[in-house]
Structure 1
Amino acid sequence: MDLKEARYILAIAHYKSIGKAAKALFISQPSLSKYLKNLEQQLGSPLFSRLEQGYIPTYMGERYLYYAEQIAAFGQEWDQEYEDITRRAHGRLNIAIPIMLGSTLLQPTLMEFHRRYPHVTINIMEEVSFVAEQTLKNTSIDLTIYNVHTFPKLLDYQVIRTEEIVLILPEGHPLEKEAEKKEGFSHPWLDLKKLSQENFILLYPDQNTGGIARDLFARHEINPPVLLHTRNSQMSIKLAMDGMGAAFTPESYFNYMASLRSDRPGCYCVGEKPVLTTTIAACRPGRYMPKHVKDYIDLLKIYGNSSS
């Protein structure tokens, strides 16, 4: 199996269609169809079943694809290293990131990166969640940037910044008068038990902030009503600022959303000690990292430390 062969078969598996795969590979449909037929004859077994829903891998196909993915990954790394060695200032940067984190962390750093590397193409794949899983599945992704409170075991990573998870209430909320200044906390502090009957807008528990919220409720032995679940951080923050319910969010997300409003929504600290989340830049273990990718991580660290 060579690199071209691996990429051809991976494209068919991805698109489940000879026509769409051929278009993505910039070759003709008859050429790709003939290529697949010859390969299957050479192997003595079909790689795909031709079904109504498209080309579905057989067991032989599944095993073939397992090794094809590894060959394609090494081929991609070689392409990147070759570009790094021979062209230096040229290349690409593929980033997977939650949508809200892209607005608050990537956006402020991209112009400086572009100034340093004007010929590097940036592809940002914005996900609502599960970006870590995307890194393990998608060999084209150079960096996955996301918030964690438990560090991943299956990825190499670098810490970009650590920031506080804060509670959001609308301007003029009755609990505003009960908030107090407390040493070690950057915002007025509220006893979370006082929100035991407050409606909440939460992210799902498998998301970082949603999981932290559930941990806080369990630690304080409260079970407040949850009015709405969403995977959209921006929606949860806006609805909390509008008064629909309380919400938790990283401090940088609050600052970004508050800057877009004319009112002054409340931002509070909770817990016995500050509730922290960490932003990491992660990649597949052992992956070759071009110089422009390393430089961008350093740029993110500088910005992250200055803004936290």
Structure 2
Amino acid sequence: MNSKLLSFLEEIKAQGNMSKAAQALFVTQPYISRVIKNAEVNFGVRLIDRSSHPIQLTYAGERLLVYLQDENRLRANLDREMTHLSQFKYGHLTIASNEIVTDDVYRPVLIRFYKKYPNIHAQIIRMNSRDAEKRLLSGSLDFFVGHPLQSPKVEYVPIAKLPLVFVIPESSKVFKEGQLYVDYNEDELARLTGESFISTPQRDNYQRLVTNYLSDLGISAEFSIEVPDIHLASDLAINHVGAIVTPEPFAEDKYMSDEQKKHVNIVKIPTDKITADFGISYIKTKQQSEPVNDLLDIISDVVDQYTPKR
């Protein structure tokens, strides 16, 4: 009955008309009226304001609709998690990460995981933190590997704090010729105000973190280039297209040619100033099983090895 009442209330709210709601749901209008009337008798309140045109849910009707929607989501989560647990021999995991998680991280994670659980199907996808949060809450994503998410319904397990660096091109007024690594000096860095920076989308958690840090330093950055991910942004910076604040693994000298090293400075930012927090997020109510716990442990171990130590 609750599922029928939920669909009837949702459609009445959307249509503003009992007859149109009945047509949309392929039932008769008297049937909808009877179900609504029985619910009103049961709860002792009016759920529909029939005097208004179009008809509307009363406050009690709106509140009941919210509770029924929450109940429906909980039931869907319960069914999905019980299936998830009972079928893990041939189960499925969907894991998303932002661009900070490179193939160098995923490769050892998947090799170790599949040696122990060869029959579990895993789907690995890339997405930004905002989209990941939406998909976690909707139940279409099991885990997100990356920056912390904001929803109180999401559990976050920290793994590492990635140290960050400035990459400064030779076109900058603070560029020091003949040096690759330059000491951190906030007064010098403040002179980057107005210079060309490369950014990832401003809505991303990582970019908001960096923008706030630059502001705290007194740097009014001119984000003249925006690209979809930090890999491309870092590659452009290493090729002295613009300045950037990027995770240290993306600007290590071992990945740079001798010619590239001549045209940029790298400034290691002290970890007490800023780091990119990195971990695993999942819905708090998710039931843990042995494969899931093992996957969390493997990711934590691999990322810890991958993270530069200062």
TM normalised by structure 2 equals 0.68
| Structure 1 partner of 2:42 | none
| Distance (Å, rounded) in 2 between the aligned partners of 1:290 and 1:131 | 25
Q: CA deviation at 1:70?
A: 2.5
Which of 47, 67, 72 matches 2:76? 72
Counterpart AA for 2:184: W
Structure 2: distance between partners of 1:272 and 1:298: 24
Distance in 1, matches of 2:126 and 2:106, equals 11
Cα gap change, 1:80/1:170 in structure 2, threshold over 3 Å: closer, same or farther? same
For the pair 1:127 / 2:127, whether they are aligned, the reply is: yes
Verify the 8 A CA contact 2:234 2:246 in the aligned structure 1. yes
Amino acid at match of 1:113: F
Correspondence for 2:241: 244
Please give the alpha-carbon distance, in whole angstroms, between the structure 1 residues aligned to 2:106 and 2:158. 15
SS at match of 1:175: coil
Does the 8 Å contact 2:193/2:218 carry over to 1?
Answer: no
Q: Tell me, which stretches of 5 or more residues in structure 1 are unaligned?
A: 14-35, 47-57, 182-186
Question: Mapping of 1:18-57 within 5 angstroms?
Answer: 37=26, 43=32
Letter of the aligned partner of 1:195 in structure 2? Answer: L
| Contact 1:109–1:303, Cα closer than 8 Å, also in 2 | yes
Partner of 1:216, secondary structure, is helix
Say if 2:203 is the partner of 1:206: yes
Whether 1:140 and 2:140 are equivalent positions in the alignment is yes
Instruction: For 1:91, give the aligned amino acid.
Output: G
Structure of larger gyration radius: 2
Aligned residues of 2:200 and 2:226 also touching (Cα < 8 A): yes
Contact 2:165/2:266 (8 A) holds in 1:
yes
> In the alignment, is the contact (CA less than 8 A) between 1:128 and 1:232 conserved in 2?
no
Query: What is the Cα deviation at residue 288 of structure 1?
Result: 0.8
Specify the SS of the correspondent of 1:119.
coil
d(CA) in 1 for partners of 2:279, 2:212: 21
Alignment correspondent of 1:22: none
Deviates more, 1:219-228 or 1:170-179: 170-179
Superposition pairs for residues 84-103 of structure 1, below 5 Å? 84=88, 87=89, 90-103=90-103
- Give the match's secondary structure for 1:110: helix
TM-score, reference length from structure 1: 0.68
Aligned residue pair count: 259
DSSP 3-state at the match of 2:221: coil
Give yes or no for contact 1:163–1:276 (8 Å, CA) kept in 2.
yes
Matches within 5 A, 1:1-308: 37=26, 43=32, 66-84=70-88, 87=89, 90-148=90-148, 153-170=152-169, 175-177=175-177, 188-191=183-186, 192-255=189-252, 259=255, 263-264=260-261, 266-270=265-269, 273-308=272-307
> What is the CA–CA distance in structure 2 between the aligned matches of 1:160 and 1:226, rounded to whole Å?
30
Amino acid at match of 1:223: S
Deviation at 1:72, TM superposition (A): 1.4
Q: Tell me how large the CA RMSD over aligned residues is.
A: 4.0
Q: Is the 8 A contact 1:171 1:241 kept in 2?
A: no
How far is the alpha carbon of 1:208 from its aligned partner? 2.7
Give the Å deviation of 1:96.
Answer: 2.0
Report the CA distance between 1:298 and its aligned residue.
Answer: 0.3
CA shift for structure 1 position 285: 1.5
Aligned equivalent of 2:38: none
Secondary structure, aligned partner of 1:96 = strand
**Cα 1:120–1:41, aligned 2, differ >3 Å: closer, same or farther?**
farther
8 Å CA contact retained: 2:160, 2:303: yes
Deviations 1:104-141, CA, capped at 9 Å, x for gaps: 53344212211221111111231134144224432132
Tell me by how many angstroms 1:198 deviates. 2.6
Once the two structures are overlaid, the 10-residue window that deviates more, 291-300 or 167-176, is 167-176
| Secondary structure of the structure 1 residue equivalent to 2:293 | helix
Extract unaligned runs of 5+ from structure 2: 12-24, 36-55
- Note closer, same or farther for the CA distance 1:208–1:268 as it changes in structure 2 (3 Å cut): farther
Where 1:101 maps in the other structure, the secondary structure is: coil
In the TM superposition, what is the alpha-carbon distance from 1:261 to its structure 2 partner?
6.2
